[in-house]
C-alpha cells in the first residue's frame, strides 16, 4: 500500500512538474495551458451547462437501471452527494490567471493540495458507490457497469459523471 501511494505521489509530482514547465510556453497563448492549446477546451466550463449535462447523465442512468421504489432512497442519496461534490469542485477551481501569476513552487503546492482533496473525495465517492451498488440486482449491476465504462471512455470530451456517452 505504501509503495502504491509513493508511486502515485511521484506520478502526480511528475505531471505537475511537467505542467509547471509548460506554463511559460502557454503564457504566450493567454497564460493557461488548458485555454485552447493541444486541442483542449478552457479549464473552466460554464457551471450551469456542466450541471445540465450531469443531470442528463444521471437521468439516463436512472432510467436504464429501472430502479424499484425500495431502491429510490439509495439512488437519491448517491445522486445528491455526487452532484453536491461536483458543484463544490467547480466552485473551488483555481483561477487559471491567478495560478499562472504564482511562482512555480506555489503552483505546485496548490496543485498537490488540490490533488489530496480530490483523492479524499474519490475515497468518499467509492464508499457511497459501494453502498448504492449493494442495493442493485445483478442485472442492474451489469447496466451500471456498462454505463460507468462508457463514461470512462469519453475521456477529454467531458467524461465525468455517470451515464452513456452522447451520440456523435
Q: For 91-110, write each residue's pLDDT tens digit.
A: 778 888 888 899 999 999 99
Distance CA 57, CA 61 (A): 6
Is the model's pLDDT at 40 over the cut of 80?
A: no
Q: Is residue 6 one of the residues assigned to a domain?
A: no
How many structural domains are present in the chain? 1
Q: Is residue 114 one of the residues assigned to a domain?
A: yes
Burial 61-94 (b: 16+ CB within 10 A, else e): bbebbebeeebeebbeebbebbeeebeeeeeeee
The predicted structure's pLDDT at residue 6: 62
| pLDDT (mean) for 102-127 | 92
- CA-nearest of 24, 64, 69 to 163 is 64
Q: Is residue 71 one of the residues assigned to a domain?
A: yes
Distance CA 48, CA 54 (A): 10
Q: Is residue 94 one of the residues assigned to a domain?
A: yes
112: containing domain: 45-152
The predicted structure's pLDDT at residue 78: 92
Q: Is residue 157 one of the residues assigned to a domain?
A: no
The predicted structure's pLDDT at residue 28: 41
| pLDDT (mean) for 48-67 | 90
Exposed (0-12), middle (13-18) or buried (19+): which is 2, by Cβ within 10 Å? exposed
Highest-confidence segment of 89-98, 123-132, 149-158 = 123-132
Q: Is residue 38 one of the residues assigned to a domain?
A: no
Amino acid at each position: 500500500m505504501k509503495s502504491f501511494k509513493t508511486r502515485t505521489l511521484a506520478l502526480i509530482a511528475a505531471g505537475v512538474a511537467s505542467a509547471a514547465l509548460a506554463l511559460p510556453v502557454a503564457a504566450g497563448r493567454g497564460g493557461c495551458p488548458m485555454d485552447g492549446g493541444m486541442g483542449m477546451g478552457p479549464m473552466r466550463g460554464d457551471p450551469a451547462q456542466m450541471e445540465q449535462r450531469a443531470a442528463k447523465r444521471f437521468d439516463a442512468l436512472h432510467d436504464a437501471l429501472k430502479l424499484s421504489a425500495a431502491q429510490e432512497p439509495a439512488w437519491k442519496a448517491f445522486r445528491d452527494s455526487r452532484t453536491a461534490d461536483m458543484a463544490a469542485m467547480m466552485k473551488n477551481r483555481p483561477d487559471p490567471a491567478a495560478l499562472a501569476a504564482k511562482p512555480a513552487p506555489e503552483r505546485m503546492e496548490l496543485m498537490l493540495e488540490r490533488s489530496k482533496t480530490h483523492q479524499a473525495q474519490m475515497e468518499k465517492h467509492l464508499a457511497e458507490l459501494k453502498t448504492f451498488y449493494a442495493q442493485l440486482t445483478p442485472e442492474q449491476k451489469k447496466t451500471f457497469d456498462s454505463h460507468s465504462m462508457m463514461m470512462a471512455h469519453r475521456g477529454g470530451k467531458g467524461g465525468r459523471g455517470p451515464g452513456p456517452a452522447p451520440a456523435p
